[in-house]
Structure 1
Amino acid sequence: MTTAHLAGLTPDQVRRKSLISGTVGAIIEWYEYTVYGTAAALVFGTLFFPSTEPGVSQIAALASFGVGFLARPVGAFVSGHLGDRIGRKSTLILTFLIMSISTAAIGLLPTYQSVGFWAPVLLCVLRLTQGFAVGGEWGGAAIIAVENAPKGRRGFFGAWPQIGVSCGLLLGTGAVAISQAISGDQFIVWGWRLPFLVSVVLAAVGLYIRLNASESPAFLAAKAEAERKQEKQKAPIPVVFKEHRRSLIIALFSRFAEAGNYYLFTVFLLSYVATTLKLPASYGLVAVMIGSALNIAMIPVFGAISDKIGRKNTFFFGAAVITVSAWPIFAMIQTGNPFAIIAGVTIFLTLGHAAVYSVLPAFYCELFPTEVRYTGISVGYQTAAILLAGFTPVIASALVLWSGGTWPLVAIIVVTTLIAVAAVAAAKESKDLDLDTIGKTPATLNGEPKPRTRTR
């Protein structure tokens, strides 16, 4: 019996609910993740890491932001295991609750002035918990969208949860700006807490949506098949590492085109414009906000394009834009002209990042069979995040200081993007594959035992 029959819904209604669940949940979680980064840049240094040297306090606060990335692979392992064993929906609800409770708790934390050493310790613990939750969120949101997609539209459906990062960036930045306007001089006293506490309301909305979403039909079918054959369910983590290593490596390295580069043009850019170029901070902030808004619009477009021309061709287009435009974009930024800065960031986010990022959910889901899909894509995606994303802004700042220019950043962008291109090129075009048959042999499809072979 299908999910639609069980819920009394048509297949289109099930798909719509699942798509909304994955997208809205991703937006709220990335809002909560972004609010921390903004608060760390503005007030956490003073409130939780006081020092006689302001620079030391700021570095410590930004380092606490990077701490969250350390927990993301752990969240990927745990959530991947649960997602492949108990279901996508239940796991997504769990990660959502963990993220929301952690974020609200940060808004209630006492500061260093009140409890001393325990304030930064508690803050970092909650940041690690946020990272753990995000580690399991992306894989579940991507899968629930792709596995519920109609035939020939997996790229478009999978692209929607991808707008969560940019939407979260816009909403988080906006929430902090509104809180500053409301609290004025009291922002550092109590105003900074408002964006964190607002997450309670957003969490209630997101939880309602996810509770009313349907489980993935692919997962239900795989579970029913295993029960019919009376097969003992294997732990997905060792299966992925033993039988799907090639797919895991492809998943990991295919993120290199965007994982670190996104933070170069969103987080590092803000510091570079204000500190190195000595320009108004608003130049970088406006550029990032405009670029992010257009990025949100273009990600579903490129997802739909990938359903027509293929995941690989769409990815290669975006990678080519990133590689060719890296040097010109930094040249535009260095002019100091606000319109040139906006144009440069927009080129990267709307034509480069949007193209490579949009295809990842469908591309990843098409790399792994249903039984280990949550584990495979979560581990691949989040391992790349810890390698590239978390500390990229700090490394970029050090390289600019060392070299006196941006050429090392251009080199990083080009090299990492070419690595991603090589990884995607090693995979087969997958847009026309049947998700239910990925990783299965003809013998398996006929009901015979599956030989122990690795999937390609």
Structure 2
Amino acid sequence: MTDTTEQQPQRPHTDDPDYAANLRRATLASSVGSALEYFDFALYGLSSALIFNVLFFSDLDPAMGVVAAFASFGVGFAARPLGGLFFGTIGDRLGRKWVLVVTILLMGGATTLIGALPTYDQIGIWAPILLTVLRLAQGFGAGAEQAGATVLMAEYSPVKRRGFFSSLPFIGIQLGTLMAALVFSFLSSLPEDVFLGWAWRVPFLLSFVLILVALFIRMRLKETPTFVVLEKQDQITHRPVRDIFTKGLAGVTVGIGLRMAENGGSYMFQNLALAFVAGSFLANPVDRGVATWGVTVGSLIGMATIPLTGHLSDRYGRRAVYRFGAVFMLVFAFPAWWLLSTGIPAVVIAVIAIGIGVAVNTMLGPQCAMLPELFGNRHRYLGVAMAREISAVLAGGLAGVVGAYLLATAGGDWLLPAIYMATLALITTASTFLVPETQGRDLLRLDDAVRVSTGERGDAEHPAETAAERDAVRA
């Protein structure tokens, strides 16, 4: 009789020094990548709201220049699902680590080059064309960056505290947003000819430093324990795309719904709200430097609310905490946009800060563990990438363009963006009733939590589909 103990994969324990060191390294690697991604995107979003219409779309009238600037911002979102599909497939076939190395290079490199671009006054139509190309490259790399960080941390985290540990790297999101807001606030306080002349380029060029730091950390990172199990048991799928659009389709669809309010609301509060209060939509616009303080304060609040709500999801379940955030945004949408229309600086700062720090981040905290828990081990990376990035197009990518268009055509009426935000919140609230509770789900499982093959919602006790999958779960 053979001893099968050594054939079974051993789960890591938090008191194992090697595991603890890798958990810290994974947290740091994910945090730096998240900081870089959201530094890039917050920086581009702030620039779209406040200066890109002048620098790259100066041939248009001011209102339509803002729409065009947000359109270039939205183009990057269109590339994200393609990047998620491409890199997500590689991540499920070859592993998580090396994908995260490549994506940080592509994303950060494109951001750095934006800082070297000539403006419309210098090269004419080629300026917005080159800006759009670099934005596409930035989006293509980002399409798998955040999904990779999400999967990496969920697969490394201890099961009972997965919500808390998975949320920690997403403090990097707030740090990146905070850095962008602080840098932009300082630069926008400079004389306008200096700011629009060369100073706006500085934060884009500084992305290169973050790339070097992230690369150093990620090159020392080990592969995640769950992917190692797949390799040892020779269970890596060679057709993750086919799997995700058959077995994983329900999980992707629900994941998209969960992200609509979180992602769309984030970009509406960070970018569209700034364009609304500091642009030509109000009779007495707020100073752009003052308005960005709302993003700064919201990011500081998020550094507390993200790990707090991740921890609460470990105690009370992912769905309950997530639903609270979606309902809060639904209730907050109309008073928020009415208050923004008053143009009172202190009120504007408070509204944007609460929108980002509480409404958005109360959903982001439990989401960090919830999305990876929706998918089986064979196609988890691709599943999370597709859910995140398709929703990024439908929610975040369209938020600026649609919102700016609604404001432009309605003469700056606050009611239309409020209705738009409330609609996103309703979609997410409804989605929380379609997903099973995933708290504590075994990430070695090969079946999804939401099962398209039977039309039934799965749960942590749902049996695996095949004998091979049952063996993997028992292992």
Give the structure-1-normalised TM-score: 0.89
Aligned equivalents of 2:153, 2:238: Cα separation in 1: 25
Q: CA deviation at 1:302?
A: 0.4
Conserved? CA contact 2:167–2:365, under 8 Å = yes
* Corresponding residue to 2:316 among 300, 303, 309: 309
Q: Which residue of 2 aligns with 1:453?
A: none
C-alpha change, 1:82 and 1:52, in structure 2 (3 Å) is: closer
Aligned equivalents of 1:2, 1:121: Cα separation in 2: 52
Q: CA deviation at 1:128?
A: 0.4
Matching of residue 279 in structure 1 with residue 285 in structure 2: yes
Q: Which residue of 1 aligns with 2:358?
A: 351
Matching of residue 216 in structure 1 with residue 224 in structure 2: yes
Q: Which residue of 2 aligns with 1:26?
A: 34
Aligned partner letter, 1:293? L
Q: Which residue of 2 aligns with 1:324?
A: 331
Aligned partner letter, 1:62? F
Aligned partner letter, 1:320? V
Structure ranking higher in helix proportion: 1
Conserved? CA contact 1:321–1:348, under 8 Å = no
* Corresponding residue to 1:80 among 88, 103, 123: 88
Aligned equivalents of 1:323, 1:339: Cα separation in 2: 23
Aligned equivalents of 1:54, 1:317: Cα separation in 2: 38
Conserved? CA contact 2:31–2:172, under 8 Å = yes
Q: CA deviation at 1:396?
A: 2.1
Aligned equivalents of 1:237, 1:193: Cα separation in 2: 39
Conserved? CA contact 2:236–2:378, under 8 Å = no
Conserved? CA contact 1:4–1:14, under 8 Å = no
Q: CA deviation at 1:213?
A: 1.8
Matched-pair identity in %: 33
Within-5 A mapping of 1:193-204: 193-204=201-212
Structure 2's unaligned 5+ residue stretches are 1-8, 448-463
C-alpha change, 1:120 and 1:411, in structure 2 (3 Å) is: closer
* Corresponding residue to 1:260 among 256, 260, 264: 264
Matching of residue 297 in structure 1 with residue 304 in structure 2: yes
Matching of residue 95 in structure 1 with residue 94 in structure 2: no
Aligned equivalents of 2:117, 2:314: Cα separation in 1: 47
Q: CA deviation at 1:178?
A: 4.1
Conserved? CA contact 1:294–1:346, under 8 Å = yes
Q: Which residue of 2 aligns with 1:190?
A: 198
**1:432 counterpart SS class:** coil
Conserved? CA contact 1:142–1:361, under 8 Å = yes
Matching of residue 241 in structure 1 with residue 245 in structure 2: yes
Aligned equivalents of 1:201, 1:90: Cα separation in 2: 20
* Corresponding residue to 2:394 among 387, 392, 409: 387
Within-5 A mapping of 1:107-118: 107-118=115-126
Conserved? CA contact 2:314–2:439, under 8 Å = yes
Conserved? CA contact 1:71–1:128, under 8 Å = yes
Once the two structures are overlaid, the 10-residue window that deviates more, 32-41 or 152-161, is: 32-41
Aligned pairs, number: 443
Conserved? CA contact 2:93–2:236, under 8 Å = no
Aligned partner letter, 1:279? P
Q: Which residue of 1 aligns with 2:74?
A: 66
Aligned equivalents of 2:113, 2:147: Cα separation in 1: 25
Give the structure-2-normalised TM-score: 0.85
Aligned equivalents of 1:399, 1:144: Cα separation in 2: 39
Q: Which residue of 1 aligns with 2:450?
A: none
Aligned equivalents of 2:370, 2:472: Cα separation in 1: 28
C-alpha change, 1:35 and 1:357, in structure 2 (3 Å) is: same
Conserved? CA contact 1:2–1:217, under 8 Å = no
Q: Which residue of 2 aligns with 1:251?
A: 255
Conserved? CA contact 1:25–1:210, under 8 Å = no
Q: CA deviation at 1:86?
A: 1.0
Q: Which residue of 2 aligns with 1:51?
A: 59
**1:32 counterpart SS class:** helix
RMSD: 2.7
Q: Which residue of 1 aligns with 2:459?
A: none
Q: Which residue of 2 aligns with 1:158?
A: 166
Aligned equivalents of 2:12, 2:181: Cα separation in 1: 38
Aligned partner letter, 2:355? F
Q: Which residue of 1 aligns with 2:416?
A: 408
Aligned equivalents of 1:121, 1:343: Cα separation in 2: 37
Structure 1's unaligned 5+ residue stretches are 450-456
Q: CA deviation at 1:411?
A: 2.7
Q: CA deviation at 1:248?
A: 1.3
Aligned partner letter, 1:350? G
Aligned partner letter, 1:200? F
Aligned equivalents of 2:359, 2:376: Cα separation in 1: 29
Within-5 A mapping of 1:442-453: 443-447=467-471
Q: CA deviation at 1:67?
A: 1.3
Once the two structures are overlaid, the 10-residue window that deviates more, 257-266 or 34-43, is: 34-43
